[in-house]
Structure 1
């Protein structure tokens, strides 16, 4: 029954998504395929954008983080609200630049605003690297579900390949429109399942109510509800929470696929309405963390102590097969929707901002083909990373935000400081990556700023070096329209 329900949810959604995408518009151009023709209204944009919040990172990752560490899982509450607040100001400006200059990718924005095709190539390569790391999150989660439904005898490589193949199928033909349809199905199903699980979870762990689950968790594991949580030596203090939440908020809209989501909106009003109501999604984390605490009370022990599998294991141990099947199918969509959008974005960037500068005469049809084929290659790299890694989904996600955060100063300064120029932005990006990746730099941050998120520190170094370089070096005036959008 578990396998049947999982397949019914996934295949049914895939069929509906492909039919919807083809019916709305056959994706024959990059604009149709990558940004949905720039026509998404409030409802579709809501589900697509919210789909980037309600992912395996949120549901499987945060519940597992709560099970393993306790209070540090509250990161989810802070980061979503902060991101929406910043998005209300930033996203309409990105949308305006996209409409005015017919932009499709984030790298298009850098190349156009700073009048530097070479900077678009640098940003494109950086963005693809961060996206592939983020795809890893979705493949890790989807592989867990594949092995749960098909059996533990399925090899990790086989599970990862199945996961990547299904992601590619979602958007290969119809592009972003297919993902938008699937995001709506996913969100509705996930909300219903979370409500159903939380309404019954108290009885599974001997508690009188949902709030009583929190009390029991505190009594059984003193310190679980306050910082530094269950593992004090992990360094997940309140300082870590504040700096990590700020880094996620500043980096969220800098992720390349979020640029393309901005470009897909039909109007500024669509974006702003979405940002106003988006923080409501952070309330759902109360229930997701609740499930993590409940799993701890129930003595759930996933295979190998894998925090990413905690929720799936708890439901499998405590609920009937039909409930497990529905959760597994919906969890598949939690991975498939954002994963497919990430691959689509990486393919778009590669064709437009890496291949096109090298081959300016490439046709629209060839560009679309290169985008689709490169998605397959990037999915392969993500599978390889999945097989070689064992981090939690939250840790992988924070690594992706740290990597993409090096592009944040270039975006914010484009709208705030007309003096910023391509050379200064590039020097800042290099300095930021050195501050983030150099072992000696990491040791320095641990010494002078203990428990700070290294991504936020590196972003600060990036911003400071960018501003200094723009002050000292000759500037080429960027397009003023993006700065005043």
Structure 2
């Protein structure tokens, strides 16, 4: 029953996504059609594709597992999503306008076009691909867990990860972003129904009288679970950590390369703004997701190896009938497949347009699509390799991805705020930011002088300072950037 329902949901969605995406014959022949949906997405599709990025395995499996393991630090989800929507309302229209004016497809296109520096596009493209590969790792970790739930623990970690990566590639390999948009709508609707269904029945399964009573029982059974620093005070997940991590996620959300491409896909400016206004409503769903993590704790759920990523999967498998487990498993697969496929599509687009094309200028449209699809496969393979060697929670992997991409934030924000910013200063900021993030001596310094601060935000601040300083003291000739679209 579990396997049959899971396969039916996945195959049905994949088939519908491919058929929807290929309705227009040119969908597989034009890079603009394949990578940004021809810039024609309306309010409905754009909502599920863009705002629906909130409903991923990071949100459902990662945050519920974080609530189970740490308690109150899972509130990071509430704060970061709302802050990101505020930033998006101001930034998304400008990204969209720049993309429409310059016929841009990738984030690296924006850097190369605005700063009039193709070489900067290559640098940004490589940095973006690296961050995307880390982010894909989240989806493969989660999907591997679901594959093993449905096929059995006898399925090894390697085959499960390969199956997960291969399924992601199927979504967008042929029809591109349009197929992912269809699948995003399916998975969001299904997940909303399932989360509501679980929450309406979860109180009975843990001996509570109501949803609110689940929180009361959790607080009584595990004192400190409802306020920071949570169940593990030594983990450093304090109020300081929450504020700095939430700010880093909010600023980094719209710097992620795939979010640039999603912005480009909108048909109109009003679609962008409506999406940003209503998007914070999605953050209310985290109340139920965190509640499910607390319920799993009350139920005594203990996933294999204490893996927090598997908590919700294990809890549902232990306490609900097989048909409900099948529905949950199939929908949870979509939570990984849809964002994972968009991330891989973005990585392939960037490699083709911003790494390969500058080296081979004569490359035609068909060759570019071929290279993009090949780069998707390579990116998926690297993500599988990273998955096999890691044991972090989905939230920790996600914060690592936001920290990695945060080095591009100065170049994005200053493009719209400060005409004096130039390619040399942006590059210096990127290098300084990565040094501040990755150098062991820098990490030791942050831990000593800024304890419990999110290192990604600190490194981003270093990048801003260095970028501004370089741009103030040095203005290279003939490289003044063009004015960013308002």
**TM class, shorter-length:** over 0.9
CA-CA distance at 1:97 after TM superposition: 0.4
What is the distance in 2 between the residues matched to 1:97 and 1:67?
A: 43
Match of 1:273 in 2: 274
- Alignment RMSD: 0.7
Q: 1:288-311: CA deviations, max 9, x gaps?
A: 000000000000000010000000
CA distance in 1: counterparts of 2:101 and 2:308, whole angstroms: 45
1:256 matched to which residue of 2?
Answer: 257
The corresponding residue for 1:8 is 8
- Pairing of 1:387-406 with structure 2 (within 5 A): 387-406=388-407
Contact 2:422/2:481, CA 8 A, preserved across alignment: no
Per-residue displacement from partner, 1:329-376 (whole Å, max 9, x unpaired)?
Answer: 000000000000000000000000000000001001100000001100
Superimposed CA distance per residue, residues 360-412 of structure 1 (whole angstroms, 9 cap, x where no aligned partner): 01001100000001100110000000000000000000000000000000000
* C-alpha distance in 2 between matches for 1:262 and 1:479: 22
Q: Could you say which residue in structure 2 is the equivalent of 1:243?
A: 244
Partner of 1:325: 326
**Structure 1 unaligned blocks of 5 or more:** none
Hey, what's the Cα distance between the residues in 1 that align with 2:273 and 2:51?
A: 13
The answer for the alignment partner of 1:211 in structure 2 is 212
Q: Which residue of 2 aligns with 1:93?
A: 94
Question: Is the 8 Å Cα contact of residues 419 and 477 (structure 1) preserved in structure 2?
Answer: no
Give 1:479 shift.
4.2
The answer to whether 1:367 aligns with 2:368 is: yes
After superposing on structure 2, the runs of 4+ consecutive aligned residues of structure 1 that deviate more than 6 Å are: none
Q: How does 1:82-481 map to 2 (within 5 A)?
A: 82-475=83-476, 476-481=478-483
In structure 1, how many angstroms separate the alpha carbons of the residues matched to 2:215 and 2:110?
46
Cα shift readout 1:251-308 (whole Å, capped 9, x = no counterpart): 0000000000000000110000000000000000000000000000000000010000
How far is the alpha carbon of 1:27 from its aligned partner?
A: 2.0
2:374 and 2:360 mapped to 1: Cα distance? 17
Please give the secondary structure, in 1, of the residue aligned with 2:73.
Answer: helix
Cα distance in 1, alignment partners of residues 137 and 395 from structure 2: 12
| TM superposition shift of 1:478 | 3.9
CA contact 2:190–2:331 (8 Å) conserved in 1: yes
Gaps of 5+ in 2: none
Name the residue aligned to 1:17: 17
SS in 2 for 1:418: coil
CA contact (8 A) 1:97 1:481 kept: no
TM-score, normalised with respect to structure 2: 0.99
Aligned residues: 484
2: CA distance, partners of 1:457 / 1:179: 34
Offset, 1:430: 0.2
Residues in 2 aligned to 1:51 and 1:359: alpha-carbon distance in whole angstroms: 36
The answer (yes or no) to whether the contact 2:59–2:77 under 8 Å persists in 1 is yes
Q: Distance in 2 between matches of 1:444 and 1:376?
A: 39
SS of 1:51's partner is: helix
Distance 1:40 1:195 in 2: 28
* Alpha-carbon distance in structure 2 between the residues aligned to 1:320 and 1:50: 31
